[in-house]
Structure 1
Amino acid sequence: MSRFVQLQTIPDVYRFFGLEDAVQHPLICIVDFSAVKEHVPEHLYVSSVYYTLIFKQYRHHAIRYGRRPVDFQDGSLICMAPGQALEMDPDAEASENKGWGLFFHPDLVRISSLGNRMQEFSFFSYEVAEALHLSEKERQALYDCIRKIGAELEENIDLHSQAIMVATIELLLQYCQRFYGRQFITRKSSDHAVVTQVEQILQHYFKTVAISDKGLPTVKYLAGQVHLSPGYLSDLLRKQTGKTAQDHIHFYLIEEAKNILLGTDKPVGEIAYTLGFEYPQYFNKLFKQKTGMTPLAFRGGN
């Protein structure tokens, strides 16, 4: 039977990993996984109220997402936003675990400039199977940030402590952003196949689906078709084509709208409904935004 655990406090984090409760700060902690000796119970799902970054090296598969195992043998980084859940796999030998975990509460960064920019780090919405695979140099860059945060936690908290830790977290996240950019480049050939697949899915959808009944395809729908998370798919497409998944959907929508405008004499309102818009003004606005003219002007100019 599955069991669900939510980590609500820093002491919860320490207790979950079977470590001595040695809280140094109420909103942030670092876990050294080489010190974790306890085995994880079977069928355990773990969630937390923290932003979580986990770098681990396993000899065996040890974490699953959506029942798909993730191979951490070479060392990978996963990033979780508050509320995301992982299924922990008990097959890994605890004595063979290496790596670190950084847990920080949204309140730590909320009033800083980083708090306003957290949504920019879209890798927090990726699935675990889309983990960041790191080179030795990249691992060291991230670990240097972890060491600096750890050293700050060892000091007595003063007026500068939080600002220094938040600045270091931001540096770490910037490194993650850079390294994911590198990963998209090194996976360019396989990612190109995803781009082609997305285009084929959209072409088929607009040719065969009654959009007025089923609605426009969503980013979540596209991501499910290519077995990726919505965030990862959008970032992949942006790196490969300069356009997000939503941009691709809109491109095929506008192309279909152009075909209907020039191939029929249907009123614009009826066309808008056929294309899944409840209100024609939304269709008009999107069409003008993408083409520079209204639907009627496009029809009249051709």
Structure 2
Amino acid sequence: MSVSLHFSEIADVYRFFNLEQTLKHPLVAVIDFGNADEQVAENTRISGDYYCLMFKRYDGNNVRYGRKVIDFNNGSLMCIAPNQVLELKYDLGDCTEKEGWGVFFHPDLIRNTSLQHKIKDYSFFSYETSEALHMSEKEKQIFYDCVQKLDGELQENIDIHTQDIIVSNIELLLNYCTRFYARQFITRKSVNSSVVGQVENILAQYFATGKLAERGLPTVKSLADKVNLSPGYLSDLLKKETGKNAQDHIHYYLIDEAKNILLSTDKSVSEIAYGLGFEYPQYFNKLFKQKTGKTPVEFRNGN
């Protein structure tokens, strides 16, 4: 039987981990998992109204996040956005060794701050578990030092500077995530190159089979599903490897197909647009000019 838990307040996090300490701040928490004692039944699904950076090392690996099992044996960093689901497939109380830390912060903490406008740029919050950040010992220490500074600030009395300092520390953590994920993309270059090849083959076959009129353009999600990655991770991987994100790759094959049709048939631009899966020809015109610098008619007449 599955049990679902949803935490709406940071105080719920303390209660979940059976920590008796007084809540230091209503919108942010730093948890030492070595001191935590979460007792959760099997098949428990957990979600919350907050962001979470979580580094854990457990002597078990039956934790699911999204569609994948998490390997916590060696430790990895997960970045979880509000309302994403963490599924526990076993009783964490059975683990004999647990260590790590978690930083939990509510969106209200960063409201009306510069981080509120930047938070969506941290695309790793949409990654799957299998795309978690695997860190070197040096990187783990850098994160730990940042977490300790954040926790130290939470020990201070709240004053007019508290929010700015806390938010700055959280933003520093997120910026390190960006840096270390960039490193991970580089160190996994051989694997990433294979993914790029798969994506190109999938798109080439899709456009060659004439499925556009029936099914429309492939989506980033459908493309990501075929290579077993999340849409956000796939786009970032492609951007690092080729300079173009997933949507750019789809549009590249679309425009290439459009050029072939424009030069090899007498079909009107509207007919071509409908044949390529566009509901409105004007959108096709706009995209074609954006990608080529010419309208479809200008391209046809110039070639």
TM score, norm. by length of structure 2? 0.97
Whether the aligned pair in 2 keeps the contact of 1:38 and 1:94 (CA below 8 Å) is no
Corresponding position of 1:77: 77
1:128 offset after TM fit, Å?
A: 1.3
Query: Residue 5 of structure 2 aligns with which residue?
Result: 5
Matching residue of 2:270: 269
The structural deviation recorded for 1:10 is 1.5
Q: Structure 1 pair 255/89, CA: closer, same or farther in 2 (3 Å)?
A: same
Residue 60 of structure 1 contacts residue 91 of structure 1 at CA under 8 Å; is this kept in 2? no
Distance between the aligned counterparts of 2:66 and 2:295, measured in 1? 44
Q: How many residues align?
A: 302
Alignment correspondent of 1:149: 150
CA distance in 1, matches of 2:162, 2:38: 32
For 2:26, the equivalent position in structure 1 comes to 26
Aligned-partner SS, 1:34: coil
Alpha carbons of structure 1 residues 164 and 178: separation in structure 2 relative to 1, 3 Å: same
Q: Could you tell me whether the CA contact under 8 Å between 2:69 and 2:129 is conserved in 1? A: no
Specify the alignment match of 1:289 in structure 2: 290
Corresponding residue of 2:249: 248
Structure 1, residues 160-179: CA drift from partner, whole Å, max 9, x if none?
A: 11100100111111000000
Tell me how far 1:21 sits from its aligned partner. Answer: 5.3
Residue in structure 2 matched with residue 123 of structure 1 by the alignment: 124
d(CA) in 1 for partners of 2:62, 2:281: 51
Q: Partner of 1:35: helix, strand, or coil? A: coil
Note the alpha carbon deviations across 1:70-116, whole angstroms, 9 max, x for none: 21222100001111001013255444110011100111111111111
Structure 2 CA distance, aligned partners of 1:232 and 1:296?
37
Name the CA distance, whole Å, in 2 between partners of 1:2 and 1:201: 37
Distance 2:136 2:211 in 1: 47
Unpaired segments ≥5 residues, structure 1:
none
Residue 97 of structure 1 is matched in structure 2 by 98
Which range moved further: 133-142 or 68-77? 68-77
Match of 2:188 in 1: 187
* Conservation of the 8 A alpha-carbon contact between 1:53 and 1:101: yes
Distance 2:7 2:151 in 1: 21
How far apart, CA to CA, are the structure 1 residues paired with 2:134 and 2:22? 31
4+ residue stretches of structure 1 with deviation over 2 A?
Answer: 37-40, 65-68, 91-95
Contact 2:59 2:96 in 1 (8 A): no
- Cα separation, 1, equivalents of 2:245 and 2:67: 28
Q: Structure 1 CA distance, aligned partners of 2:37 and 2:83? A: 26
Give the fraction of aligned pairs with identical amino acids, expressed as a percent.
61
- Measure, in 1, the Cα distance between the counterparts of 2:111 and 2:68: 33
Q: Call closer, same or farther: CA 1:75–1:160 in 2, change over 3 Å.
A: same
Aligned equivalent of 1:36: 36
Question: 1:65 deviation in Å?
Answer: 2.5
- Indicate how the Cα distance of structure 1 residues 62 and 35 shifts in structure 2: closer, same or farther if over 3 A, else same: farther
Q: Is the 8 A contact 1:11 1:21 kept in 2?
A: no
Matched, 1:134 2:135: yes
Matched, 1:57 2:57: yes
Distance (whole Å) between structure 1 residues aligned to residue 245 and residue 26 of structure 2: 38
The RMSD of aligned alpha carbons is 1.2
Q: CA deviation at 1:207?
A: 1.1
> In structure 1, how many angstroms separate the alpha carbons of the residues matched to 2:67 and 2:297?
50
Contact 1:52-1:102 at 8 Å conserved across structures: yes
Distance 2:151 2:210 in 1: 55
